[in-house]
Amino acid sequence: MTDAELMNAAQKARENSYSPYSHFRVGAALLTKSGKLYTGCNIENAAYPAGNCAERTAIFKAVSEGEREFEALAIVGGKEGETSEFCAPCGICRQVIAEFCQKDFKILLGNPKTFKAYTLEALLPLSFTDKDL
């Protein structure tokens, strides 16, 4: 699967965003090393902290299905009714990514037409991981 195809999958996952409170819609697509695809969207809740980000939805879906080895993650987000431009993952999602992925893990940000690849190391330098325990 190409980076552009992964971005397209994230864009499609964004269509399922349940975000009646923030009206900010996010989709994520996670590619496993074995070539499987897991997607996710943000899922909000009337009790705000109970909501979940798109990235963690995708990661938790994959891990709960037995996946632990990941190749890349694409994230597409933006305000409802607007074309997604650029949505960086929140700090909690970066930490969850760091639990399962190496420093050189690829994270694609932007939209299917214009996107850029970042490493996990670039987005979460000096991270705290199991190696610190």
Q: Which residues bind ligand THU (CB under 6 A)?
A: 19, 22, 24, 26, 42, 44, 51, 53-55, 75, 77, 87, 89-90, 93
What minimum distance in Å lies between the beta carbon of 37 and ligand THU?
Answer: 18
85 is annotated as an active-site residue: no
Shorter beta-carbon distance to ligand THU: residue 32 or 86: 86
φ, ψ dihedrals at 117, nearest 5°: -95, 135
What minimum distance in Å lies between the beta carbon of 104 and ligand THU?
Answer: 20
What minimum distance in Å lies between the beta carbon of 65 and ligand THU?
Answer: 20
Three-class SS state of 24: strand
Q: Judging by beta carbons within 10 Å of its beta carbon (0-12, 13-18, 19+), is residue 76 exposed, middle or buried?
A: buried
Both tokens of 105, joined, read 């893990």
